[in-house]
């Protein structure tokens, strides 16, 4: 075969959200409000937990990790989406596109594993309360948290490497609002079977395994709650679990729809993806404070202290 002259892609053009002509200003205002609420809410939770020594427990340590993750996760695609809506800034460099793919799968996988670790924490707290502090000591908590970040970094590195070692020498127009594996590999001028198979396997298997482990934990948790004699203990256990279960549902729901239903129309996939990456990180601080007296108390203390300082 003779050599073919090919112009290698150095940047991509993001088409943005489909069917939104004339709605750019409204969407910009809505997404900017969501993004600012996400930043403010998660920073407040993060700061309140760090500032209040009473919240230096395993459960709040993992919640601190979750807030930090949500800050990063919402920042992967939202700033570029806002720029696209406001000034029609659709061009993204090859490096920028690689960063979006890497951090989307790195932080998404970390959050998925973290929800599983949080379910294990709730399982130990409710099913083995007397041994809780022995099992969930700081060494174990640090290893579990570090493990979620390290494992996910390998996961994201493999997916990103497979995606961008493919040659891109044709169209550079990504028919989506950010760089994800499937919209990007469509533009490759090579066989994409390997990356598509690995992506479906990895991106499908990780959330599915985590979800099954969470489900098993909650079967045991519900059984233990039903056996409790104290109504107060039952209510407290149910309250902490309800927050976590709500977070799990909001996170795994969009994942399940996007990656298990590839036949879904583009019209439905985009709103579901936006909900998962823009709305859910904003809702998590609300979910974990509405029914949690300790966090609400720490927030009041933090805000009161700041106001007193001024």
What Rg, from alpha-carbon coordinates, does the chain have? 22
Phi, psi of 173 (to 5 degrees): -95, 110
Percent of the chain at pLDDT above 70?
Answer: 92
Burial of 266 (0-12, 13-18, 19+ CB in 10 A): exposed
pLDDT at 96 over 70: yes
> Which string of b and e fits 198-207 if b means at least 16 CB within 10 Å?
ebeebbeebb
Per-residue pLDDT, 240: 75
What's the pLDDT band for 297 if we cut at 50, 70, 90?
confident
Report, as an integer, the average pLDDT of 21-25.
86
- Per-residue pLDDT of 109-163, as tens digits, reads 999 999 999 999 999 999 998 999 999 999 999 999 999 999 999 999 999 999 9
Determine the pLDDT at residue 305: 64
Q: What is the pLDDT of residue 263?
A: 61
Mean pLDDT across the chain, nearest whole number?
Answer: 86
Q: In sequence order, what are the residues at sequence separation of 6 or more whose Cβ sits closer than 8 angstroms to the Cβ of residue 276?
A: 250, 251, 253, 254, 255, 258
pLDDT at position 230: 72
- Give the side-chain half-sphere CA count within 13 A for 247: 27
Give residue 169's pLDDT.
Answer: 81
Average pLDDT in the 35-48 region? Answer: 93
Residue 23 has a pLDDT of: 87
Determine the topology of domain 11-295 in CATH: Rhopdopsin 7-helix transmembrane proteins (1.20.1070)
Higher pLDDT, 48 or 192: 48
- 54-95 confidence digits (pLDDT tens): 889 999 999 999 999 999 999 999 999 999 998 888 899 999
Q: Token digits for 188?
A: 């490759």
191-213 per-position pLDDT tens digit: 888 888 887 777 778 888 999 99
The ranges assigned to domains in the chain are: 11-295
Would you state the pLDDT for residue 1? 37
Give the residue from 226, 222, 233, 281 showing the smallest Cα distance to 73: 281
CB 60 within 8 A of CB 297: no
Per-residue pLDDT tens over the stretch 230-262:
777 777 777 778 888 889 988 888 777 766 665
Collapsing DSSP states into helix, strand and coil, what is residue 13? strand
Q: How confident is the model at residue 267 (pLDDT cuts 50, 70, 90)?
A: low
Select from 219, 210, 285, 218 the least CA-distant residue to 255: 210
């Amino acid at each position: 075969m003779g050599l073919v002259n090919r112009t290698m892609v150095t940047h991509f053009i993001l088409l943005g959200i489909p069917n939104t002509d004339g709605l750019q200003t409204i969407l910009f205002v809505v997404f900017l409000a969501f993004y600012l609420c996400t930043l403010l809410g998660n920073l407040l939770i993060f700061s309140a937990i760090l500032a209040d020594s009473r919240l230096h427990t395993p459960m709040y340590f993992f919640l601190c990790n979750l807030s930090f993750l949500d800050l990063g996760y919402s920042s992967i695609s939202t700033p570029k989406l806002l720029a696209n809506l406001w000034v029609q800034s659709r061009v993204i460099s090859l490096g920028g596109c690689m960063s979006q793919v890497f951090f989307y799968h790195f932080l998404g996988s970390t959050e998925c594993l973290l929800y599983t670790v949080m379910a294990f924490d709730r399982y130990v707290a409710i099913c083995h309360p007397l041994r809780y502090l022995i099992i969930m000591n700081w060494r174990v908590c640090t290893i579990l948290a570090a493990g979620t970040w390290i494992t996910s970094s390998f996961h994201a590195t493999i997916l990103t490497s497979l995606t961008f070692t493919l040659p891109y020498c044709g169209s550079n127009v990504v028919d989506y609002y950010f760089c994800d594996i499937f919209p990007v590999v469509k533009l490759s001028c090579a066989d994409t079977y390997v990356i598509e198979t690995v992506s479906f396997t990895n991106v499908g298997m990780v959330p599915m395994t985590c979800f099954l482990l969470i489900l098993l934990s909650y079967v045991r948790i519900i059984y233990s709650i039903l056996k409790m004699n104290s109504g107060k203990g039952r209510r407290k256990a149910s309250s902490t679990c309800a927050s976590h279960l709500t977070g799990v549902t909001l996170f795994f729901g969009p994942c399940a729809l996007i990656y298990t239903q590839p036949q879904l129309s583009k019209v439905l996939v985009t709103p579901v993806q936006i909900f998962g990456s823009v709305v859910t990180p904003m809702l998590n601080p609300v979910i974990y404070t509405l029914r949690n007296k300790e966090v609400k108390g720490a927030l009041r203390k933090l805000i009161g202290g700041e106001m007193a300082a001024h």
